[in-house]
Structure 1
Amino acid sequence: MIFELSGSTSSKSSLRIIPIFENSAADILPSKFGLDVHPSVFSGKKDSTYLLQHHDQLVLLVGLGEDQEINEVEKSFRRILSKNAEIIQDKVTLDFSQDLDSKLIESALIGFSLGGYSIDFFKREKDKKKDFRDLKVEVKSSIESIHLIVDRAEKISNAKIEAFKLVDLPPNVLTPTFLADWAKKLEGKNGLKAIIFDQKKAKSERLDAFLAVSRGSAKAPKFIILEHRHPKAKFHLGLVGKGVTFDTGGLNIKTQGMVHMKSDMGGAAAVLATTQLIVDLNLPINLTSIVPAVENAVDKDAYLPSEVIQSHAGLSIEVIDTDAEGRLILADGLSYLVQNYAIDQVIDLATLTGSSVATFGYECGALFSNSEDLSNNLQKAGLETFEKVWPLPMWENYRKEMDSEIADIKNYHGKPIAGAITAAKFLEAFIHEHPSWAHLDIAGVAYGDTEFSKTKSGTAFGVHLLLKFIENQL
């Protein structure tokens, strides 16, 4: 998709798209756009559209309702390409009135870009939907900073699309090596540095819990580190994303829903896409992102229930359940991050527990933190971006549930209660008492049913949330 500002080209578009707030259609359509549309036909009601021909140009009116939020505007514009591809030719014009502020225009541009995304990666060419990569999009707006809005929206949508792809690609393609190669391709952009540990290097770095999970897989694990440094950095943020590219459950094999376990690297997708976005925007922060990438499979070498394994933090772990693998790789990722970098804030994202889904459904992620300020800032950013997270308690009594008689800690308490909380308490044991840490359990929101796909697909949850969280501190 190629965005152009109004006046940069003389060729006329085949489709003009005009977003209109409810009840303003009768006033603004004839005065600004020269269109006479009766209110009974189109009034700007939320989620309504009206297609007409004006002279030799198609015009699509998009209703925004009375007071539209950014997430609804994004969805409204995503529908245009996703569900009206037949009316799109070689060029379109997005014609924004003065009623739309910069935030809504940014959301509209992001949504329009996302509308061109499809999960039909492996369909035969004749079956594929339209390819909008070369679509020219003229943007008309009276806002002086429109060029900055367009540039920013492009970078945000590019990051979200990468997060979509990483979750939606099948596990025979999206392997730990694929994620490592993806990270290497980002290297060099605005000075970004990529460091990849193979099994030998991971062993020398004492990443034993990470390595234990990967033992049953023919696909080699990769411990991915990305370093972004800015000369005017305001703070140093550390991110860790769970990168289980497929989760069978190990020897505690899953009995249902395994077909969706390619999504178990939703945390990694969010961290990698956010890293790309921070680098693209060149925000004045130092960022260190870690993605422990493994496949949790079953063979003769797979780690066993009742094993006692070691960890980077020096704590021994009794394995109660091999399907509680995500917390094991996160434990080593968190410990390595805190021990090797001077991090001001630490945030991990993971599709970690069904318990978080049982608590919040598909509405928001579960938030755990040892810092009230960090927790409040993440909640605020989540409400602003509609990628909501909400806190659950971290009381010390829950830590006792993870006590082991044979080791320092066990990886699962074995009870059908407080699963998300006890998982968070497990992770807390590996942050070396860092004073500003948050864990986001995004199992219910990183992947699921949407109107834009006939099957479950990635949501890019966490990308916009983390961007807003960062920018609120600058």
Structure 2
Amino acid sequence: MKITPIKSSVNFKGLVIIPFFEQEENDASISFESFTISKHLFLGKKDSQFILEDNGSERIYLLVGLGKSPNYKNVKTVFRRLTARQEVLFEKKVLVWLNDKMDSDFLEAAVSGLFLGTYRLGHYKKSENEAKNWSKINISIFSAVNESKKIIEKGLKIAAAQIETFNLVDLPPNKITPKYLADWASDAGKKFGFDVKVLDKKKAEKENLKAFLAVGQGSQREPQFIIMKYRSKSAKKHFGLVGKGVTFDTGGLNIKTQGMVHMKCDMGGAATVLGAMQLIADLGLEVNITAVVPCVENAIDSRSFLPSDVIGSYSGKTIEVIDTDAEGRLILADGLSYLIQNFKPDTVIDFATLTGSAVGTFGYECAALFSKNEELSKNLQQYGEKIGERLWPLPMWDEYKTEMDSEIADIKNYHGKPYAGAITAAKFLEYFTENHTSWAHIDIAGTAFGDSEFAKTKHATAYGVHLLIKLIENL
């Protein structure tokens, strides 16, 4: 798909998409060029459409209702819906006509939505009908926004990174293995311009990444510890990112009793960080980034780690394993310690599909946020709200720390109680952050993978990719 700005729509032939804000019922009918649409037929109400064909100009007009005050996410969804559901209307040439009230954020959201709508889940389906070749579709955008070309390019890059994230989460676990993610990172680093180092099992053993290795020891698929570095000469901030990369989670010997079919999504945090690295480098942001993505498969085998095992960690602290299905926090513990001790970033953010407790608290509407840094917490909430990637804080009070006390080791990985699961998991991770003063843990269990109008089954959302960019750009 090619999307470019134009200065004049004269002589255009093809599909013309015109979004409208909702008008009051007592307003005059909607007029555009030589057409007048009765207010009884179209008022611009949210999710409404009106189509008319003008044979004289060889145009098809598609009027799209936005509602009264659409936010960024609303606009993106409206335009994504067009390419997802009405692809038959998209032939070789399309024009999107935006009025003067539609600003740069509107333009960016519209462009991202159009590109995201081309994504399909049928990666392995055989179909009698040939899939649409979106690369042949040229979309022109008429807009009064300054530097519209630059904004269009940014919107396309955001969507491209999100689609990569979709693929990483949606593809099956026999495809998306730890080695696949390591190779993906290496290829992306070469293409977009960031350094990648991968520690295989032997190298991880030399580095004493004991908690990370314990989780993967029951799998025939070798664990991979990915380290990525993006550097800008004009950077004033150094961000550290960590993403949970459990490519499939059986629960280990504490085997899951339900929902295992969806556990290919347990590397959603890794996908967020990998997609964000692509986008950060693609946009050339003026920031330094060091990202760590520990990737394992939590499988069941005679070599699997056991409930009641005491394992080591990169930090040197010992961990009593209460539940092998609380494995994500173990690999994150080593990821956080390794990142902070070796690279000393100013701010650290980790993303993980960590607990069902976060889903029980917030459902699928927002992620659970944990941080003792009020400024970082408020910024994440503010910028998440602007783009429709919401998150909300839960307490990090030290009273919860005692829940993770162990009699035999420095800490246990699970408190074994049916309450405060997301909070105690965050307190466990905090134990391995070396008392870092600017750290946030984001539990995306309810937001990384779910239901929507764009597929019949649960699928990836790429939650967090745009959120990170929005945060970095404004700090």
Are positions 1:30 and 2:31 aligned together? yes
**Deviation of the 1:94 alpha carbon:** 1.1
Are positions 1:434 and 2:436 aligned together? yes
Are positions 1:239 and 2:241 aligned together? yes
State the SS of the aligned residue for 1:111: helix
CA contact (8 A) 2:192 2:278 kept: no
1:147 is matched by which residue type in structure 2?
A: K
Q: Match for residue 53 of structure 1?
A: 53
Which of 99, 115, 119 is the matching residue for 1:117?
119
CA contact (8 A) 2:240 2:289 kept: yes
**Deviation of the 1:10 alpha carbon:** 9.9
State the SS of the aligned residue for 1:346: strand
Structure 2 residue runs without a partner (length 5+): none
Bigger CA drift: 56-65 or 224-233?
Answer: 56-65
Separation (CA, whole Å) in 2 of partners of 1:408 and 1:11? 73
CA contact (8 A) 2:208 2:313 kept: yes
Relative to structure 1, the CA distance from residue 143 to residue 40 in structure 2 (aligned partners, 3 Å threshold; closer, same or farther) is same
**Deviation of the 1:179 alpha carbon:** 0.6
Map of 1:305-454 to 2, 5 A cutoff? 305-454=307-456
State the SS of the aligned residue for 1:133: helix
Bigger CA drift: 405-414 or 34-43?
Answer: 34-43
1:6 is matched by which residue type in structure 2?
A: I
Relative to structure 1, the CA distance from residue 11 to residue 197 in structure 2 (aligned partners, 3 Å threshold; closer, same or farther) is farther
2:34 is matched by which residue type in structure 1?
A: G
State the SS of the aligned residue for 1:305: coil
Separation (CA, whole Å) in 2 of partners of 1:335 and 1:463? 23
1:22 is matched by which residue type in structure 2?
A: E
1:49 is matched by which residue type in structure 2?
A: Q
Q: Match for residue 465 of structure 1?
A: 467
Q: Match for residue 226 of structure 1?
A: 228
Identity %: 53
Relative to structure 1, the CA distance from residue 41 to residue 173 in structure 2 (aligned partners, 3 Å threshold; closer, same or farther) is same
Q: Match for residue 4 of structure 1?
A: 4
Deviation string 1:66-125 (CA, Å, 9 cap, x unpaired) is: 111110011000110111122221221111111211111111111111110111100114
**Deviation of the 1:218 alpha carbon:** 1.1
Map of 1:12-23 to 2, 5 A cutoff? 12-23=12-23
CA contact (8 A) 1:315 1:408 kept: yes
**Deviation of the 1:7 alpha carbon:** 5.9
Which of 270, 273, 276 is the matching residue for 2:272?
270
Separation (CA, whole Å) in 1 of partners of 2:260 and 2:43? 46
State the SS of the aligned residue for 1:253: coil
**Deviation of the 1:35 alpha carbon:** 2.3
Q: Match for residue 292 of structure 2?
A: 290
Separation (CA, whole Å) in 1 of partners of 2:47 and 2:432? 47
State the SS of the aligned residue for 1:244: strand
CA contact (8 A) 1:13 1:90 kept: no
**Deviation of the 1:13 alpha carbon:** 4.6
State the SS of the aligned residue for 1:170: coil
Separation (CA, whole Å) in 2 of partners of 1:11 and 1:193? 48
Supply the RMSD in Å over aligned alpha carbons.
Answer: 1.7
Count of paired positions: 472
Separation (CA, whole Å) in 1 of partners of 2:405 and 2:13? 66
Relative to structure 1, the CA distance from residue 355 to residue 117 in structure 2 (aligned partners, 3 Å threshold; closer, same or farther) is same
**Deviation of the 1:264 alpha carbon:** 0.5
State the SS of the aligned residue for 1:210: helix
**Deviation of the 1:163 alpha carbon:** 1.2
**Deviation of the 1:129 alpha carbon:** 4.2
Relative to structure 1, the CA distance from residue 180 to residue 128 in structure 2 (aligned partners, 3 Å threshold; closer, same or farther) is farther
State the SS of the aligned residue for 1:274: helix
Separation (CA, whole Å) in 1 of partners of 2:302 and 2:133? 45
Q: Match for residue 62 of structure 1?
A: 64
CA contact (8 A) 2:84 2:118 kept: yes
1:305 is matched by which residue type in structure 2?
A: P
**Deviation of the 1:426 alpha carbon:** 0.4
Relative to structure 1, the CA distance from residue 283 to residue 27 in structure 2 (aligned partners, 3 Å threshold; closer, same or farther) is farther
1:93 is matched by which residue type in structure 2?
A: L
Deviation string 1:330-366 (CA, Å, 9 cap, x unpaired) is: 0000000000002000000000000011111111111
Bigger CA drift: 119-128 or 288-297?
Answer: 119-128
**Deviation of the 1:8 alpha carbon:** 9.9
Bigger CA drift: 48-57 or 208-217?
Answer: 48-57
Are positions 1:208 and 2:210 aligned together? yes
**Deviation of the 1:133 alpha carbon:** 3.1
State the SS of the aligned residue for 2:203: helix
Relative to structure 1, the CA distance from residue 415 to residue 109 in structure 2 (aligned partners, 3 Å threshold; closer, same or farther) is same
Which of 150, 162, 166 is the matching residue for 2:164?
162
Q: TM-score, normalised by structure 2?
A: 0.96
State the SS of the aligned residue for 2:211: helix
Separation (CA, whole Å) in 1 of partners of 2:135 and 2:400? 50
State the SS of the aligned residue for 2:307: coil
2:338 is matched by which residue type in structure 1?
A: Y
1:404 is matched by which residue type in structure 2?
A: S
Q: Match for residue 186 of structure 2?
A: 184
**Deviation of the 1:166 alpha carbon:** 1.0
Which of 64, 70, 88 is the matching residue for 2:90?
88
CA contact (8 A) 1:318 1:411 kept: yes
**Deviation of the 1:458 alpha carbon:** 0.5
Relative to structure 1, the CA distance from residue 13 to residue 407 in structure 2 (aligned partners, 3 Å threshold; closer, same or farther) is farther
CA contact (8 A) 1:189 1:279 kept: no
Separation (CA, whole Å) in 1 of partners of 2:130 and 2:173? 21
Which of 139, 142, 158 is the matching residue for 2:141?
139
CA contact (8 A) 1:191 1:229 kept: no
Separation (CA, whole Å) in 2 of partners of 1:400 and 1:53? 69
Dislocated runs of 4+, deviation >2 Å: 7-14, 24-31, 125-131, 188-191
State the SS of the aligned residue for 1:188: helix
